[in-house]
Structure 1
Amino acid sequence: MKMIYRLLAIFLIGLLAACASPKVSDYANQKPVLDLSDYFNGTLDAYGIFTDRSGAVVKRFTVLMKCRWEVIDGKKVGTLDESFEYSDGTKQKRIWKLTEVSPGKYIGKADDVVGEAIGESAGNALNWTYTLALPVDKDIYNVQFNDWMYLVTPKVMINKAQMSKFGIYLGEVTLSFYKP
């Protein structure tokens, strides 16, 4: 009987390990190194899709980003002015204010972000977690985002963000950023 419990414990530990999320520190040695204030500086273009939980593409979109950074009270503060244009013709604007609170640690704010976004970077990766007030038809839903960005080359970054509500997976946003 003890052997069965041990095997069950090993199985459960393996199952939990398989479900573990990556940590930003897992990417600490990856190159090129992402410097947020360097990459998100100037004008960038982004191209993306939103897929629902079945993997079907629900929306396509482009983003024009105008970004700048300054030092305020000894901290790097960035403004990311995003203009979205969706495949159905709708447009949306989001202006992020990002503050580097310590090396590799960030907070972000935007009008449609509930509270603050918390970000951490290491190596070529950045992870943001936040709640977005998402308009759907005539309603607003507070949706949680687990947002990962990976610098592929000095000019290209891939962004993959999982969306959930009450812990239930809703879909993903996938973006490709290009810095001319």
Structure 2
Amino acid sequence: MRHMVKVLSLVMLMLIAGCSADLKAYQASQPAFDLFGYFQGETHAWGMVQDYSGKQTRRFQVKIKGTVADDTLTLVEDFVFHDGEKNQRIWTITRSADGHYEGRADDIIGVATGHEMGNALQWQYDFLLKTDDSEITVSFDDWLFRQDDKHLFNITSIRKFGLEVGRITLFFTK
């Protein structure tokens, strides 16, 4: 019985590890992601939020204005949700060596960290999610992929206590 538990544990560990994406897998993918280059100027996006079961819970559009000064990108994101709610987030993102980034925004807890390689950017942070009657902290694991000069897409896993509780899918165009 112990042997069976060890085998099952090993199989589960391999499955979990196999599901983890590795940014290095995109190293040779083109076009290069270029976070600052893509988001400088005006960008439009649209997307949806899904709950843990895959049910769509929200739809939204975003107008983004990006400005670059030296090694800092400022993104002003104006959200409009399908129910009429409006929200604004202002990111301040700094570039460091080797494709690494750090970002800050009012509803982000601490510092967001990111790394780009090839046509991909992985962006991770804790987010203060406000509901009708409370606030909870969730972790976001964003994967952005540059499609071409004008398009990129983003898939985000929203996690609480290590379990996926939602997903965001977002499409961007210049």
Question: The residue matched to 1:22 in structure 2 has which SS?
Answer: coil
Do residues 70 (structure 1) and 69 (structure 2) align?
yes
Structure 2 equivalent of residue 19 of structure 1: 16
Query: Equivalent residue of 2:21, what SS?
Result: coil
1:25 corresponds to which letter in structure 2? K
Residue 17 of structure 1 and its aligned partner are, at CA, apart by 2.9
> Is 1:116–2:111 an aligned residue pair?
yes
**Equivalent residue for 1:58?**
57
What is the CA distance between 1:168 and its match in structure 2?
2.3
Q: What is the rounded CA distance, in whole Å, between the counterparts of 1:68 and 1:17 in structure 2?
A: 43
Partner of 2:96: 101
> Which one of the candidate residues 129, 132, 149 is aligned to 2:144?
149
Looking at structure 2, the residues matched to 92 and 28 of structure 1 have their Cα atoms a distance apart, in angstroms, of: 35
2: CA distance, partners of 1:9 / 1:102: 42
Q: Counterpart of 1:51 in 2: which secondary structure?
A: strand
1:40-82 per-position Cα deviation (integer Å, ceiling 9, x unaligned) = 11000000000001101100000000001111xxxx1000100
Distance between the aligned counterparts of 2:11 and 2:25, measured in 1? Answer: 19
- Match among 116, 130, 152 for residue 125 of structure 2: 130
C-alpha distance in 2 between matches for 1:89 and 1:26: 39
Aligned residues: 172
- What SS class does the counterpart of residue 15 from structure 2 fall into? helix
User: Aligned pair 1:166/2:165, yes or no?
Assistant: no
Q: Which residue of 2 aligns with 1:30?
A: 29
Partners of 2:165 and 2:5 lie apart in 1 by 31
Amino acid across the alignment from 2:49: F
Relative to the length of structure 2, the TM-score reads: 0.92
Distance in 2 of aligned mates of 1:169 and 1:122: 25
Q: Which residue number corresponds to residue 41 of structure 2?
A: 42
Q: What secondary structure is seen at the aligned counterpart in 2 of 1:103?
A: helix
- Whole-Å separation in 1 of the counterparts to 2:27 and 2:35: 15
Q: Which runs of 4+ in 1 moved over 3 A?
A: 7-15
User: What's the TM-score, normalizing by structure 1?
Assistant: 0.89
Pair 1:140 & 2:139 matched:
no
- Structure 1 gaps of 5+ residues are none
Instruction: Give the root-mean-square deviation of aligned CA atoms.
Output: 1.7
Letter in 1 for 2:54: G
| Percent pairwise identity | 36
